[in-house]
Chains A and B, each alone.
Chain A
C-alpha cells in the first residue's frame, strides 16, 4: 500500500468535515506540483485541521509497521500528519526540484514546521539529499528541533556518517535529551565516540558536576583498563543510578576485570543476565523518576 494512502486513512477519521474538504482540495492542487500551493497549505495546516493528538488503534499500528518507516507513530498531532501527507504527495520524480522546494520550506520554517519537517525525514523520497539538512537540525539551539532529528527518528542511524552521528550523541548529552530514544544507539556505538564521552565525563567531574549515567552505555563495549578505573569508582559511589550504570557497562565488556566487578553483586548481575535489567529499562526508569519530580 502506498504511504500517502495509509497516512490519508489514518488522518481522515480525525478531521472535521470542513478540514477534510480543505485538505482534499489542497491535495488535488499539490499533485500539479506548483510550489506556492505547497507553501500555502503547509503553513496554514494547523489553523485548518487543528492540533489534536492522533489516537492510533492496534490494527493501524500493524499496518504502519508494515510500511517499514521506523517512525514512532504515537503522540503525533493532526497538523503534523497532514503536513507529512503534503510532503509525500508533492511530485518528487525530479530529484533536484523536489529537494530545492523542500529546502525552501526548511529555510523559512517556524518552530513547529521545523519539527514536523525533521520528523518527516525518514518518509521523504531521495533521503540521501537531506543528509546535510539533518545535520543543520542537529546544530539547532531549539531543543524541540534538535530532538525532532535525534529522538525516535531512524534517519540519523540510516543516513549520517560517523562524525555527524557522534556530534548528535554528544549534543544529546549537552541538551539533556534522553539517550535511549536515539534509534540505533548500540548498533552505531564506536570507539571514537566512547573516547569523546569519557573526556566529557572527566570535564564534568572536574567542574564538580554530575554525569548522566546513560553515558556509560556507549563506553561499555570499548572498555580498556584505564577507563575501567572510572567505572570502578562509579560502581563504589553512593549514587545507586551510577552503580547500576557501572554494572550495565561492565556487562557489555569482555574485560576480565569488568566481569569480576559485575559478579561482586550477584543479585544485580543475575538481573542483568536474565534480561530483567537492561539499558532501556534503566533509562526509562531514570526519566520517569525525573518526570515525577517535576510534577507540581
Chain B
C-alpha cells in the first residue's frame, strides 16, 4: 500500500528513518515549518530553516526515493516574539510560491495569546491571496476551545473549510471539525497525542471521509513509521482497505493537492525535469522496489 505522511519533521530525523519509511511504503511526506524545540533568536535562522526545507531536506529525501513537500509558515509558539515575528512575515513571500510548497502551515494557536492570533490571521490572509491550503496546528492545552476558535477564525477570513486541514485532533474534537466540513488530521504520537488503537476506533466510528493520519515525528520521542503501522493495524482489525487507503494516502493527496503542487505523478512517474540530471542523478536508488511493512507481530505495531 502506498502511504503519505502529511505531517512529519524530517529535518530532525536520520537517514535510517527515511530508509525504513520507504520500505514501509511511504512515497511522499509533507514537512510543515515548525519551531526547532527551542526558540530562534534571529530572523536569519528562519531563513536558513526555510531554505533547508525546500533545498537540502528535499534532496535528502529524494536519495531514499521519497518525495518531500512542505508547508511554509510562522508557528504559533514563535509568533509570541513579536519583533522577530514581524521580520519572519517579510520572509514568507519569498518562499510561499516555491515548487513543492503545498500550503501555509503549521500555523494556529499554542497559548492562544493576542500575538498568536495576530500572526495566525495575517498568514490566513497570505494563504487566501495565494489560494493555498492551510495546515492548522491545534493547541495541547485547552484543546477543544482552541480548535473551535481556529475554525471560527478561518471562516471569519473567508477561507472555505475544504482548504483547511485542522490537525492533532482527538475523540473530543473530531466531530465538530468534520461536521463543519474541515479536513481532520490525527497525529499518532506516543503518550501526548493519539495512540493507533484509538485511531482504529475513530475511523470505525466516523468513517474515512476527510480524515487523515500523520506521525508529526520530530526531535521528540515519536515514530516516523506511525502511519504505515496504523494502516496495518487498521487492516488487521477489520477496517475496509478502501478506508485505510483514504486515511493514509488519498485524503492527504486530495487536501494538499488543491495547491496544484502535490500530484500523484510526482512519485508514480518520477522523472527529473532536466534530462542531463537524469542521466547521472540518483543512481543510488535504481532498482529499488517499494516493500511492504514486514512485521507480523502485533506488539511491534502498537503505539501506546
Name A's B-contacting residues (CB within 8 A): 36, 39-40, 43-44, 46-47, 51, 53, 75-77, 79-80, 104, 107-115, 141-144, 147, 151-152, 176-178, 287, 291, 294, 296
**Other 8 A-B pairs with CB < 8 A, given A111-B58, A141-B59:** A40-B93, A47-B97, A109-B51, A110-B51, A110-B55, A110-B99, A111-B55, A152-B276
| Interface core residue of B91, B279, B287 (most chain A CB under 10 Å) | B279
Interface size on B, residues (CB 8 A): 29
Mark B70-97 against chain A: 1 for CB-CB distance below 8 A, else 0: 0000000000000000000001011101
A selection of 26 A-B contacts at a CB cut-off of 8 Å is A40-B97, A46-B99, A46-B273, A47-B97, A47-B99, A47-B261, A53-B275, A75-B275, A108-B50, A108-B94, A109-B51, A109-B55, A110-B54, A111-B54, A111-B58, A112-B99, A141-B59, A143-B280, A147-B277, A151-B276, A152-B276, A176-B280, A177-B280, A287-B280, A294-B286, A296-B287
A152-B303 Cα distance, complex, nearest whole Å: 51
Contact with A along B82-125 (1 / 0, CB 8 A): 00000000010111011110000000000000000000000000
Cβ-closest chain A residue relative to B279? A291
How many Å from the CB of B47 to the closest CB on chain A?
A: 7
Q: Within residues 260 to 283 of chain B, which ones have a CB less than 8 A from any CB in chain A?
A: 260-261, 273-277, 279-281, 283
Given A109-B55, A111-B55, A39 and B99 touching (CB < 8 A)? no
A80–B93 CB distance below 8 A: no
Compute how far the CA of A296 lies from the CA of B285 in the bound complex, rounded to whole angstroms: 12
What residues of chain A lie closer than 8 Å to B55, measured between beta carbons?
109-111, 114, 142
B56 within 8 A of A: yes
Q: Chain B residues near A291: list those with CB within 8 A.
A: 279
CA distance A232 to B160 in the complex (A): 74
Q: Chain B: residues with CB nearer than 8 A to chain A?
A: 47, 50-51, 54-56, 58-59, 91, 93-95, 97-100, 260-261, 273-277, 279-281, 283, 286-287
The smallest beta-carbon distance between A16 and chain B, in angstroms, is 15
* A107 pairs with B286, CB closer than 8 A: no
Please name the residue on chain B nearest to A52 by beta carbon.
Answer: B273
| Most A-side CB within 10 Å, residue of B91, B99, B274 | B274
> Which B residues are CB-close (under 8 A) to A114?
55
Q: Of B94, B95, B260, which is in contact with the most chain A CB atoms at under 10 Å from its CB?
A: B94
Selected from B50, B94, B277, the residue in CB contact (under 8 A) with A144 is B277
Across the interface, do A141 and B97 meet the contact criterion of CB distance under 8 Å?
no
Interface pair A43/B98, CB less than 8 Å apart: yes
Q: Please provide the 8 A-B residue pairs with the shortest distance between their CB atoms, ordered closest to farther.
A: A110-B54, A75-B275, A43-B97, A44-B97, A51-B273, A75-B276, A142-B59, A110-B98
Chain B neighbourhood of A109, CB < 8 A: 51, 55
A80 to B277, CA, bound (A): 13
Residue on B nearest A50 in the bound complex, by CB: B273
- The CA of A287 and the CA of B260, in the complex, are separated in Å by 37
Closest chain-A Cβ to B233's Cβ sits at a distance in Å of 34
> Is B97's CB under 8 angstroms from A77's CB?
no
State how many angstroms separate the Cβ of B241 from the closest Cβ of chain A.
29
- Give chain A residues whose Cβ lies under 8 Å from the Cβ of B91: 108
Give the complex CA separation of A101 and B59 in angstroms. 25
- List, in ascending order, chain B residues with CB within 8 A of A80's CB: 274
Q: Determine the distance from Cα of A36 to Cα of B277 in the docked complex, in whole angstroms.
A: 30
Of A36, A39, A143, A176, most buried by chain B (CB within 10 Å of CB) is A143
Asked whether A141 lies within 8 Å of B99 as measured between CB atoms, the reply is: no
Complex contacts, A111 vs chain B, CB 8 Å? 54-55, 58-59
With both chains docked as a complex, state the minimum distance between the C-beta of A143 and any C-beta of chain B, in angstroms.
6
Chain A residues within an 8 Å CB radius of B279: 291
CB pair B274–A115 under 8 Å, yes or no, is: yes
Known: A141-B56, A296-B287. A108 touches B95 (CB 8 A): yes
Q: How far is the CB of B89 from chain A (nearest CB, A)?
A: 14
Which chain A residues lie closer than 8 Å to B51 at the CB level?
107-110
